[in-house]
A = this chain, B = another copy of it.
């Protein structure tokens, strides 16, 4: 009736670090699938942390499952955690709503709308706090995931400002790329930046057109590699954008990007090109959702959600261990069923 998670007693284990935060950018209609309405979107990341930590939403009034039945990727990460026994450290980099998951708080200021001049005013202190945490965490390997609605738009803005490949995915089946580009254009304009102008200046980039999660992931990465830890960025184009920030901050250590086949199959994203540009070694894991006829899995096969909350990195962990595909799919069904069964009333 219970599973176990690995806890390092020697600093030699894998630590899964989930960085959660928010950006007012997510309130722009049509950008994100993470939450049915802007009011609910604000709760998504807090609920994601609870699902990975406790197996279900605990304090959060929302169950992050789309009208079509597509659950948050937190369900998959949790399922792998129940089978694969990894320890999670949740990081609050600026959540919009409280969470009952224990968090290390490094920011606690929500990100602003990137169409305003300084959406992350405290970018420098946030980066430095994340860097310190990355240096201090007692583990030889850390996998970093994210949860922030609207994050692919801020990622596109960051990639654009840094002069990197402007390729990002979406949690929606149809990537609203032209809307994203309009928002990014406005973001650059409001900060007086042109494309590529902030290359080599990751902190300024985040301050003007980024979000607190991208900033924190880059800082964690810098701190971790400086203390000889292996870093895996667990996710898609957002984590690649965080990797870009780390590269522009001078991080030249090997970095892995572990994502899902759903993300890799997104032609609008071109994750392999982006990974290649940034010298991120790419791992793509296919969880075999097409083997089952289950609403949660069908939604992913149809292109919803795709990635997030460390899903690709969790799947890679399952893949390299002895977890069988059927155990994994069964467990995903179990976690999903638990969410629907609880179905906390939406009070947001």
Contacts and interface: CB of A to CB of B under 8 A. Distances in A.
A58 B137 contact: yes
Contacts of A90: 102
How many copies of this kind of chain does the complex include? Answer: 2
B7 A3 contact: yes
B81 A7 contact: yes
A54 B138 contact: yes
Interface string A27-56: 000000000000000000000000000111
A144 to B, nearest CB: 15
A334 B5 CA distance: 21
B7 A138 contact: no
Contacts of A82: 7, 9
A137 B99 CA distance: 12
A8 B12 contact: no
A55 B1 CA distance: 27
Interface in A1-34: 1-13
A7 B2 contact: yes
B5 A7 contact: yes
A105 interface: yes
Contact of A2 (B2, B10, B91, B137): B10
Contacts of A89: 102
Indicate the size class of the contact surface on chain A.
35 or more
A4 B6 contact: yes
A89 B89 CA distance: 11
Contacts of A10: 1-2, 55
Nearest to A133: B100
Contact of A58 (B6, B7, B138, B335): B138
A325 to B, nearest CB: 19
B104 A102 contact: yes
Contacts of A124: none
Across chains A and B, which 5 residue pairs bring their CB atoms closest together, nearest first?
A: A102-B102, A4-B4, A58-B136, A5-B7, A9-B82
A191 interface: no
A103 interface: yes
A246 interface: no
A59 interface: yes
Contacts of A97: none
A56 B104 CA distance: 16
A12 B4 contact: no
Given A100-B133, A104-B102, A12 B5 contact: no
A203 B223 CA distance: 44
Nearest to A105: B105
A85 interface: yes
A80 to B, nearest CB: 12
